[in-house]
Amino acid sequence: MSPANVAQESLKTTLCFSIEDKVGALEDCLAAIKATDISLTRIESRPSRTKDWDYDFFVDFDAVDTKQVNRVVEELRAHTKTVQVIGAENTADRFFFCCVDSVVWFPRKLTDLDTFADKVLEMGEELSSDHPGAQDPVYRARRMDITRIAKTYRTGMPIPAVDYTEEENQTWGKVYRQLTDLYKTHACREHQYVFPLLEQNCGYSDNGIPQLETISRFLKDCTGFTLRPVMGLLSSRDFLNSFAFRVFYSTQYIRHGSKPFYTPEPDCCHELLGHVPLLADPDFADFCQEIGLASLGATDADIERLATIFWFTVEFGLCRQDGQLKAYGAGLLSSFGELEYALSDKPELRPFDPAKTAIQKYPITEFQPVYFVAESFKDAQEKVRDFAANSMNRPFSVRYNALTQTIEVLDNKDKVLRFARSIRDDMKTLTSVLEQLG
């Protein structure tokens, strides 16, 4: 797309500014914004996280171009203590720009994920020409019905159930039986531990496809993760951002019945058999969230590196347990052929090192020639955290506040001190518990 065309697209922008608690302060700010011909799409206020009794305001608007964003910032500087562009994004073609005090837009609260509802890159209700169901009008219509659930879903809603057909349940059963036989020898111990619990609590069996809402409630109780329906493939940025909130985007449709052991895209077999079991493991859930937190506000180059790390871990990761090689990646645990191949002597195995893993090239339509082996999920989490702190071009750190389900940006001394106080209180509780245990 040419620069001229880019300039014509609206830029979804979020500003954060702090004002003193005095009469007329907010009115002055709103008047300054109005003077720039901006119409706000959202405004929210929060108690300031500084030591002063100030208020933080978050406003969203669609700007014409970067000049208009910068003009709003300059107008607000005269009426605020601080003003920052949290992010700006061209919603049409994912064109990101940087301006003064700006980082790439990222979700700050759980409901911000609603903006991803229909922003899929491919598949979903539209199929590529080489998809097994591309020429099947009944299958295509069925896909469209199912993806409509994801398109209309919003945060806080129960996930609508899908009344799966006999053919869809039969396809699931074929995949289920073949993979579960292999899990006993090839899957990591965490996957093997959780799987019977899914059968007991979530209706996992070869008789039919379980429902996302039931599984989501189970995961919430285990690790705080929840599922959210998705129409198709999201961008790497949007997909990884959701992990910061412990949200996993899951498809509800299933592969075409003519080829039950092949799919060119993620489907419910991949999501529910490959991803879900490990999202119920606390250490693995922490690892996934670490990647998600690292992705917030990251540059395009860093998103590409994080997506590659995700590919070689969460999708195609191996680990050693009791001296044996085991699979924990969902791409392996949902593919009978590659699961056998990955644990054979055919591929090359390398120790997991985020800096090296992040630049490794990989194919997407054939078995991987290289796999990375993690010592443990906790070790992998620490390595990703160090990678984010020392190798990424991001001028701030973030933390997830589980109480408010929001992202806190640690970009000044007051916020860091507040965070330190919360850690201190937790340490007091820990010390008390240890003393009681003797």
Annotated active-site positions, please?
270, 275, 315, 334
Q: Integer distance in angstroms from the first to the last C-alpha of the chain?
A: 67
DSSP bridge pairs for 432: none
Q: By C-alpha distance, which of 103, 123, 87 is closest to 12?
A: 87
Please report, as a single letter, which amino acid is at residue 260.
Answer: P
Q: Which residue has the tokens 């500087």?
A: 77
167 CB-near residues (< 8 Å, 6+ apart): 257
Structure tokens at 329: 């990646």
Q: What are phi and psi of 174, to 5 degrees?
A: -65, -45
**Dihedral of CA 178/184/186/190: which sign?**
positive
Q: HEC states along the chain? A: CCHHHHHHCCEEEEEEEEEECCCCHHHHHHHHHHCCCCCEEEEEEEECCCCCCEEEEEEEEEECCHHHHHHHHHHHHCCCCEEEEEEEEECCCCEECCCCCECCCCCCEHHHHHHHCCCEEECCCCCCCCCCCCCCHHHHHHHHHHHHHHHHCCCCCCCCCCCCCHHHHHHHHHHHHHHHHHHHHHECHHHHHHHHHHHHHCCCECCECCCHHHHHHHHHHHHCCEEEECCCEECHHHHHHHHCCCEEEECCCCCCCCCCCCCCCCCHHHHHHHHHHHHCCHHHHHHHHHHHHHHCCCCHHHHHHHHHHHHHHHHCCEEEECCEEEECCHHHHCCHHHHHHHCCCCCEEEECCHHHHCCCCCCCCCCCCEEEEECCHHHHHHHHHHHHHHHCCCCCEEEEECCCCEEEEECCHHHHHHHHHHHHHHHHHHHHHHHHHC
Instruction: Give, in order, the Cα–Cα distances in Å from 245 to each of 145, 309, 434.
Output: 28, 19, 30
